A and B are shown apart, each in its own frame.
Chain A
Amino acid sequence: MNELKPSDFERAPSRQALHRISRPSLSYWQDAWLRLRRNRQAIFSLGIVMALVFFTLAGPWLWRQDPSTQLLEEASLGPTLGRKAVVVEELDSWSPEFADARATAWDRVQDLRVIGEPTTEGITLQWGPVEGAEGYAIYRTDRKPRGLNRLGLPLAEVKKPGQLSFRDRMNVEPRSYTYTVLPIFKGLEAEVYGRVKVAPRIALKLAAAQRLKAGARVGDTIVLPAHPFGTDSLGRDLLSRIIAGARISLSIGLLAPLLYMLLGVLIGGFAGYSGGRIDLAIVRGIDLVVALPFLLFMILFRIAFGVGPGESGVHAMVVAMVALSWPSSARLVRGQVMQLREAEYVQAARLLGARTGYLLLRHLIPNTMGVILVYLTFAIPSTIFTEAFLSFIGMGVVPPTPSWGSLCNDGIQSFLSHPHEFIFPAIFISVTVLAFNLLGDGLRDALDPKQRGSS
């Protein structure tokens, strides 16, 4: 031990001077914001979120196609920037005999040919008679026909005596088709056949054309609206439907998870902190709610809210989702809080006389923020799809209002033949999920008190 000197007994310099504050004092949230701003990834994702919000709010003004206007002539179209279509007359309703008088010149089915101009509004075929045939079978394919068994779609059998023509109007698209016509003897198709290759022009009926452009006349060429994302199976513009769907999907997809997470965090935090009987009761309450059949209770909520037939049940849906979905987040937070409540700093705070509410809000819940944020970012896509499922069975948004989830649901059915109907809405959901995951990461880093000043 050193010897004591008189100087050791002199008054120490003032405390202020000794503990010079090296940084300005920041509150928890100020500090979090500072660190969030420094996180490039978080700022980038915040940018995406802003862009999504902008897309939702300003979209309808920037892209002025109506999301519910149908044009069956343009159903399931891939992305286009405005096709040209010729205006044609309204074809008379299914009267197959219209051109048969002219058929006399031909006497073989091999003389199959196209009458008039083939357009997407209809392709008229005519062929010569075959002695003794009781009818003719007509096939269409957009591939190379193989043999006599691979002729494509069996469009029709004409069995009317003397009928030697057929008009195909079954979803005709502007691609190259090969038609095969076979005579039928005693219920069996013969091996002689007529074959013709057709490339129909894009056409639009006069009535439809006049709706697009006043004063359009037969024979005019008009430019159809552009569809950068293509159209759906009823010929509605997909981009405008995605814009319209964003409102529903983003608002429900964010609002419902935020609300039920809030509820779950509070209940779960309380249960985990309290322990004992209270904890047991709440845990069993959680089990109770989780075990209830979701669909059955959704129907009940809809009835309880008095949602009328054909009315949008968005409010009932959000309330029901909150009422039925909070338990899993509560369970997660409870587990975390149970672990944390034994931590030294919590015990210290408790010894210093901190009250339950303060402890929960100041120490326990902020420390579970990482887990909460992960949960929240995952709740967004699952809510979007839950909404789609509920709308599909008539318990959510009513048609024609679209949502991203329901666009995906519709699109997946024709994924192989028209992939764009699924891919575009799916991209929007993915981007949203990505943005919120990155943002969640950034927030987690920023809100984690342990990493203060370390990033």
Chain B
Amino acid sequence: MRRPVHAILGTVLLASVVLIQGGCTKRETRDILYIAMGAEPPELNSTKATDTESGMVLGHVMEGLTRINAAGMQVPGVAESWKLTDQGAVFTLRPDARWSDGRPVTANDFVFAWRTAVDPKTASEYAFILFPIKNAEAIVQGRLPPTQLGVAARDDRTLAVTFEKPCGYFLALTSFQTYFPIREDFYTAQQGRYGSDKENLLYNGPFKLTQWIHGAALRFEKNEQYWDQARVKLKRIEVPYITADDSARFNLFKDRKIDLLGLSKNSLDDAVREGFRLKKFAEGSVWFLEYNFISGRLTRNKNLRKAIQLSFDAEEFANKVVGIPGTVPGISLIPGWMQGKSAPFRSEYPVTAVGRDIEKARAYMAAFMKEEGLGKAPSLVWLTGESPLAAREAEYFQNLLKTVLGIELKIDKQIFKQRLAKMMAGEFDIVSAGWGPDYADPMTFADLFASWNENNRGKWKNASYDALIRKAQATTKAAVRMDSMAAAERILLDEQPILPTYERSVIYTHSDRVSGIIRRSVGADPDLSEASARE
């Protein structure tokens, strides 16, 4: 904690402060990057972290077997080479990968971390991401001890993984935070406080945390023990501000206090006026409306879902309601930026966009009302969150469905936990939801609507869809996997258990003195590890 400012001085200071501030010391800038974060990382224990802030910090201070490079490709990290088969994988670790205390990163550190993550005592929310590894699920369920996990250190530099069943996207998982290494002796020495403060963490990434004032500030310093020194140009990354307020961050950027700024729809005009250099990137998430399939819900009727689909103009929505350049109108579940076999998935398996067709929409609506024996258009419950965009979206659809189909939308706005509870309990007709990818493979989206997935909130169940996903999950052959997922997506788009609305885009700017900031759809974002900063 910084020295507390004494209250008694307050009034006196109030008068004199203006004078003091004028002659304030100039802050250091060379090779230092200043940023603001929206919230402080709630958890830096890599086996338990789930949120984006923790993911961003961990991505800078730790490194897994592989990492994602500037071009979005999976490249060697702690592992220098690997061999993947249908039954498992063998990773060879580089000899010069070290922890921040100078000791080498060994295969045992991975074994320990992964066992800890699936241990029921750890209660990791992300334990499921290790399920491709043999026995992982049984261990989480408490049926087997963690030592039975299908991972072993053949020697210090050889890590052998056994799969539960063939897994075609395992490599994409190895850069994910739950797969990061943890050294056992250090972990046990922290007595349950691992990752709770800067001293309670051992680093093997390009940076290490040297300051962490809760709720106020973080400081990253270059990790001299990191094996790939050539990659890191910055001396420090400073996070002197933590605030969720968009306009506050905007003003901090304008005042040259921070070097990187994400822009909301409402600040775009100001940013253009200020002459900021604007850039954009695909944030990665896909947004959609999810219909409820629990018995008794009208949304089970396909004609109703078709009617809504044909009333909707995704391009108008992206341009006028979301209003962020780069927003992709929603046409499918798997987003446009996702790689397929060798090119973007969408270019290998194109989908035709269904535009607005009001006459057809009304015909479907009439058919629906006839089937359900309804005299007048029904009212539906629309469950949504409390963000300004969620509110705008809800009101847009309320007006749209009223004018085109006569449907009365009842907007059920709920704060975070109450909304989740209602989603789980199926207390909605339509819920507006989004999904961000965990790893760089179409499967992170495709298995979302398998009937066994807990995140399939509408409880849509389709036997052919399930079969295709199972098929894709049981092979390492890229062509078979991608074909199956594309076929599954076609079923989904025809049956319309969801109506894709948009793929999110982010507009951001950075100060002229910095370069090399990497923004990405999967993994730690922003990635500042290769950035550089002038005076």
**In the complex, are there CB atoms of A and B closer than 8 Å?**
yes
User: Which of B143-151, B213-221, B269-277 participates in binding chain A?
Assistant: B269-277
Contacts of A299 in B (CB 8 A): 418
Query: CB of B301 within 8 A of chain A?
Result: no
Q: Does B189 contact A (CB under 8 A)?
A: no
B394 and A72 within 8 A (CB): no
Residue of A nearest to B266 (CB): A414
Residue of B320, B412, B428 near A171 (CB, 8 A) is B320
CB distance from B143 to the nearest CB of A (A): 39
- CB under 8 Å from chain A, chain B span 311-361: 313, 315-316, 319-321, 323, 325-326, 329, 353, 355-356, 358
* One of A33-41, A141-149, A257-265, A441-449 contacting the partner: A141-149
Q: Across the interface, do B277 and A149 meet the contact criterion of CB distance under 8 Å?
A: yes
Stretch at the interface among B39-47, B125-133, B378-386, B483-491: B378-386
**Cα distance, A184 to B411, chains bound together (Å):** 44
Q: Which residues of B contact A156 (CB under 8 A)?
A: 325-326
Please state if A94 and B411 are interface contacts (CB–CB under 8 Å). Answer: no
CB nearest to A154 among chain B residues: B280
Asked if A310 and B411 make an inter-chain contact with CB atoms under 8 angstroms apart, the answer reads yes
Q: Is the CB of B268 within 8 A of A153?
A: yes
Q: From the candidates B272, B415, B422, name the one contacting A142 in the complex (CB within 8 A).
A: B272
Asked if B325 and A154 make an inter-chain contact with CB atoms under 8 angstroms apart, the answer reads yes
Please indicate the chain B residues that have their CB under 8 angstroms from the CB of A153 in the complex.
268, 272, 278, 325, 507
Closest to A172 in B: B319
Q: Is the interface of B mostly helix, strand, loop or mixed?
A: mixed
Q: Is B398's CB under 8 angstroms from A399's CB? A: yes
Among A44-52, A343-351, A390-398, the stretch that binds chain B is A390-398
* A-side contacts of B413, CB under 8 Å: 392-394, 398-399
Near A by CB (< 8 A), chain B positions 134-156 give none
Rounded to whole Å, the gap between the CB of A376 and the closest CB of chain B is 30
Residues A169 and B315 in contact, CB atoms below 8 Å apart = yes
Which A residues between 309 and 325 are near B, CB-CB below 8 angstroms?
Answer: 309-311
A146 to chain B, nearest CB (A): 6
State in angstroms the CA–CA spacing of A179 and B32 once bound together: 35
Contacts of B73 in A (CB 8 A): none
Q: How far is the CA of A207 from the CA of B269 in the complex (A)?
A: 29
Indicate whether A70 sits within 8 Å of B278 (C-beta atoms), given known contacts A141-B272, A169-B319, A171-B320.
no
A187 nearest in chain B by CB position: B71
A451 beta carbon closer than 8 Å to chain B: no
B268, B326, B355, B411: the one within 8 Å of A398 (CB): B411
Would you call B399 and A234 a contact (CB within 8 A)? yes
Least distance between A411 CB and chain B CB atoms (Å): 10
Q: Identify which of A170, A234, A308, A394 contacts B415 (C-beta below 8 A).
A: A394
Contacting pair B270 A170 (CB below 8 A): no
- Indicate if A93 sits at the interface (CB-CB under 8 A): yes
In the assembly, what is the distance between CA of A308 and CA of B380, in Å?
Answer: 12
A339 at interface, CB cutoff 8 A: no
Q: Tell me if A93 and B315 are in contact (CB < 8 A).
A: yes
CA distance A451 to B383 in the complex (A): 58
Contact of A70 with B399 in the complex, beta carbons under 8 Å = yes
A276 at the A/B interface (Cβ < 8 Å)? no
Q: How far is the CB of A64 from chain B (nearest CB, A)?
A: 18
B268 contact set on A, CB distance < 8 A: 153, 417
Whether A150 sits at the interface, judged by CB under 8 Å, is yes
Residues of A with C-beta under 8 A to B313: 93
Are the C-beta atoms of A152 and B398 separated by less than 8 Å? no
CA separation between A169 and B319, bound complex, in Å? 6
Q: Does A398 contact B269, Cβ atoms closer than 8 Å?
A: no
Instruction: State whether the Cβ of B464 lies closer than 8 Å to any Cβ in chain A.
Output: no
Complex-state Cα separation, A142 to B394, whole angstroms: 30
Are B320 and A309 in touch, CB under 8 angstroms?
Answer: no
Q: B412–A394 contact, CB under 8 A?
A: yes
Complex contact B418–A234 (CB within 8 A): no
- With contacts A70-B396, A153-B325, A394-B412 known, is A143 near B273, CB below 8 A? yes
A154 and B395 within 8 A (CB): no
A398-B410 in contact (CB<8A): yes
Contact, CB under 8 Å: A309 / B383: yes
Does B455 make an interface contact (CB < 8 A)?
Answer: no
Closest Cβ of chain A to B69, distance in Å, is: 13
A69 interface contact, C-beta 8 A: yes
Contact with B along A385-425 (1 / 0, CB 8 A): 00000001110001110000000001001101100000000
A149 touching B355, Cβ below 8 Å: no
Complex CA gap A143/B319 in Å reads: 21
B195-239: contact bitstring with A at CB < 8 Å (1 yes, 0 no)?
Answer: 000000000000000000000000000000000000000000000
Closest to A149 in B: B277
**Interface 1/0s, chain A 158-191, versus B by CB < 8 A?**
0000000000011100000000000000000000
Is A155 an interface residue, CB under 8 A from the partner? yes
Residue A65 at the chain B interface, CB threshold 8 Å: no
In the complex, B388 has a CB within 8 A of chain A: yes
CA distance A70 to B279 in the complex (A): 31
Q: How distant is the Cα of A410 from the Cα of B279 in the complex, in angstroms? A: 26
Contact call A410/B427, Cβ cutoff below 8 A: no
B414 CB, min distance to chain A CBs, angstroms: 5
Q: Is A338 an interface residue (CB 8 A)?
A: no
B512 part of interface (Cβ distance < 8 Å): yes
| Chain B proximity of A250: nearest CB distance (Å) | 23
| Chain A contacts with B in 98-150, Cβ cutoff 8 A | 141-143, 146, 149-150
Give the Cβ gap from A415 to chain B, nearest Cβ, in Å: 8
Known: A394-B415, A400-B399, A413-B388. A170 touches B269 (CB 8 A): no
Q: Is B392 an interface residue (CB 8 A)?
A: yes
When the two chains form their complex, are residues A392 and B386 in contact, meaning their CB atoms are under 8 A apart? yes
A221 in contact (CB, < 8 A)? no
Inter-chain contacts of A149 with B (CB < 8 A): 277, 512
- CB nearest neighbor in A for B269: A417
Q: Please indicate the chain A residues that have their CB under 8 angstroms from the CB of B418 in the complex.
A: 299
The one of A93, A141, A417 in contact with B355, judged by C-beta atoms closer than 8 angstroms, is A93
State in angstroms the CA–CA spacing of A75 and B319 once bound together: 12
Is B363 at the interface (CB under 8 A from chain A)?
A: no
Q: Is the CB of A150 within 8 A of B275?
A: yes
With contacts A70-B399, A234-B399, A400-B395 taken as known, whether A154 is within 8 angstroms of B326 at the C-beta atoms is yes
Q: Is B17 an interface residue (CB 8 A)?
A: no
| Chain A residue at minimal CB-CB distance from B385 | A394
* Chain A 287-309 interface mask (CB, 8 Å, partner B; 1/0): 00000000000010000000011
Give the Cβ gap from A346 to chain B, nearest Cβ, in Å: 39
B87 interfacial contact with A, CB 8 Å: no
Least distance between A190 CB and chain B CB atoms (Å): 16
CB <8 Å contact, B394 and A399: yes
Instruction: Write out the residue numbers on chain A whose beta carbons fall within 8 Å of the beta carbon of B273.
Output: 143
In the assembled complex, which residues on chain A have CB atoms less than 8 Å from the CB atom of B326?
Answer: 154-156
In contact, B315 and A393 (Cβ under 8 angstroms): no
Is B386 touching A393 in the complex (CB atoms < 8 A)?
yes
A274 within 8 A of B: no
A94 touching B325, Cβ below 8 Å: no
Of B353, B391, B415, B427, which one neighbours A94 at CB under 8 angstroms? B353
B267 part of interface (Cβ distance < 8 Å) = yes
Residues from chain A with Cβ under 8 Å of B278 in the complex: 151-154
CB pair B396–A413 under 8 Å, yes or no, is no
A394 with B398: CB separation less than 8 A = no
> B325 contacts A170, CB within 8 Å?
yes
* A75 partner residues in chain B, CB cutoff 8 A: 320
Residue contact A399 to B272, C-beta cutoff 8 Å: no
Separation of A259 and B483 alpha carbons in the complex (Å): 66
Could you say which of A93, A151, A152 contacts B353, with CB atoms under 8 Å apart? A93
Q: Give the complex CA separation of A69 and B269 in angstroms.
A: 25
Type the 1/0 row for A85-98, where 1 means its CB is closer than 8 Å to any CB of B: 00000001110000
CB-CB nearest 7 A-B residue pairs: A310-B410, A394-B413, A309-B412, A417-B269, A93-B355, A414-B266, A72-B320
Between A and B, 14 residue pairs with Cβ closer than 8 Å are A70-B395, A72-B316, A149-B512, A152-B278, A153-B325, A154-B280, A169-B315, A299-B418, A309-B412, A310-B409, A393-B415, A413-B264, A417-B266, A417-B268
13 new A-B contacts, CB < 8 A, other than A153-B268, A393-B415, A413-B264, are A68-B399, A72-B316, A75-B320, A92-B355, A154-B507, A156-B326, A171-B323, A309-B412, A310-B381, A394-B386, A394-B411, A394-B414, A416-B270
